[in-house]
C-alpha cells in the first residue's frame, strides 16, 4: 500500500480575464460554507450586487499579480507539493484546489487508481475554519476514497518555531514600532456558532510570542483582513489598525500573515499595494511584510514529517 498525501489550497481563476474571474467568484462565493446568510437571501445579493461590483475589481487585481507561469497561489502551492514529494519519495503527493483545477474529488480518485487506497488530506491552512476546511472535507468524502483529514496544524511546535524564526529574521532588520499578526477574517456569526478560528488565531499569536522573548508584547497586536459583504466580520480590521497606529505616532510596522502559507492576492495585492498605500497616505513610514512560507524547505519538511506521523498513527491504530 503506497501512502498518499493530498495538499489542498483555495484555488484561483483559470486566467485573470473577467469571465474566468467571474466564474471563479460565482463558484467560491456560492459555497454555503462561505457565508451564514440563507441562500434565499445571499444569492440575490451575490448575483445582483456583489458580483457586478467585485468581478471587475478582482480581475484587475489578478491581472496585476499574475505571473508568466500563472497564478502565484497555484505556482507556490505546486512548489510546496514538489518539495514535499522530494521529502517523501515513496509516497504519492498531489495537489488539489477547493475551487478550480485540479479538483479534490477527481484528484483523490486518480490517487486511488495509482495505488493509494487511503489518502491523508492536508489543507494548507494552519487554523481551522468552516469557511476553508468544511468544503474540502465535503468534496473529499464525496469521492468515496478513504481519507484521513488533518484539521489544523497551528499548534504544531515545529510550525510555530518556523513561524517565529521568520518573524525574528524580519524584525531584526529594522526598528519597528509595531508588529501586527494579521489573519484572514471570517464573519463573527461563525464564531458565535462555534467556529474555533478566532481562538486558534489568538493561540497562534501567543505561541509565537512565547518563542520570541526579545519581542516586547506591548509592540504586538492582532488584526484581521480580507473581509467583504454586509455582515459583521472579526475586528479590528487591518486597514483601521494601520490608520490608528499612525495617529498614535507608530509609523514603522511589520505585518505577519499566519493564516496564509503562500503569496496570494491577500499578500500581493491587498497588503503590498492597498494596505501599504493606506498606511503611507495616513502618514506611515515603513511598511514591511514577513514572507509567507512559500517554498521554504523547512516548511515542506514540516509538512512531510506531519504526514508521516499521521500515517504511522493510522497504521498503528489499524
> Residue 282 in contact with residue 242, Cβ under 8 Å?
yes
Integer CA distances (angstroms), 242 to 85, 231, 286, in order: 40, 22, 11
> Residue 225 in contact with residue 93, Cβ under 8 Å?
no
**Cell 504586538 belongs to residue:** 220
Geometric angle at alpha carbon 275, from 272 and 279, rounded to 5°: 115
Cα distance between residue 208 and residue 290, in whole Å: 13
Annotated ligand binding at 316? The verdict is: no
Q: Which residues are annotated as a binding site?
A: 184
Q: Which residues are annotated as a binding site for Fe(2+)?
A: 184
Amino acid at each position: 500500500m503506497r501512502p498518499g498525501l493530498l495538499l489542498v489550497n483555495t484555488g484561483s481563476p483559470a486566467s485573470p480575464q473577467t469571465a474566468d474571474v467571474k466564474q471563479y467568484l460565482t463558484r467560491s462565493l456560492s459555497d454555503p460554507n462561505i457565508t451564514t446568510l440563507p441562500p434565499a437571501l445571499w444569492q440575490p445579493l451575490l448575483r445582483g450586487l456583489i458580483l457586478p461590483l467585485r468581478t471587475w475589481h478582482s480581475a484587475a487585481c489578478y491581472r496585476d499579480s499574475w505571473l508568466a507561469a500563472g497564478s502565484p497561489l497555484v505556482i507556490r502551492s505546486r512548489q510546496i507539493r514538489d518539495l514535499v514529494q522530494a521529502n517523501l519519495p515513496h509516497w504519492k503527493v498531489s495537489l488539489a484546489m477547493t475551487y478550480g483545477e485540479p479538483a479534490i474529488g477527481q484528484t483523490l480518485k486518480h490517487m486511488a487508481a495509482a495505488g493509494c487506497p487511503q489518502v491523508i488530506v492536508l489543507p494548507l491552512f494552519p487554523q481551522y475554519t468552516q469557511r476553508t476546511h468544511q468544503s474540502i472535507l465535503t468534496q473529499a468524502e464525496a469521492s468515496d476514497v478513504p481519507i484521513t483529514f488533518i484539521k489544523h496544524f497551528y499548534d504544531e511546535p515545529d510550525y510555530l518555531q518556523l513561524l517565529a524564526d521568520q518573524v525574528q529574521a524580519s524584525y531584526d532588520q529594522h526598528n519597528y514600532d509595531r508588529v501586527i499578526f494579521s489573519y484572514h477574517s471570517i464573519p463573527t456569526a461563525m464564531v458565535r456558532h462555534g467556529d474555533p478560528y478566532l481562538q486558534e488565531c489568538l493561540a497562534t499569536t501567543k505561541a509565537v510570542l512565547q518563542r520570541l522573548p526579545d519581542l516586547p508584547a506591548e509592540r504586538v497586536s492582532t488584526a484581521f483582513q480580507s473581509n467583504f459583504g454586509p455582515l459583521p466580520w472579526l475586528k479590528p480590521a487591518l486597514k483601521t489598525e494601520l490608520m490608528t497606529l499612525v495617529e498614535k505616532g507608530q509609523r514603522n510596522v511589520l505585518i505577519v500573515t499566519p493564516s496564509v502559507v503562500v503569496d496570494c492576492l491577500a499578500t500581493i495585492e491587498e497588503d503590498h499595494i492597498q494596505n501599504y498605500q493606506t498606511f503611507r497616505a495616513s502618514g506611515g513610514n515603513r511598511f514591511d511584510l514577513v514572507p509567507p512560507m512559500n517554498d521554504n524547505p523547512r516548511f515542506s519538511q514540516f509538512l512531510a514529517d506531519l504526514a508521516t506521523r499521521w500515517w504511522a498513527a493510522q497504521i498503528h491504530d489499524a
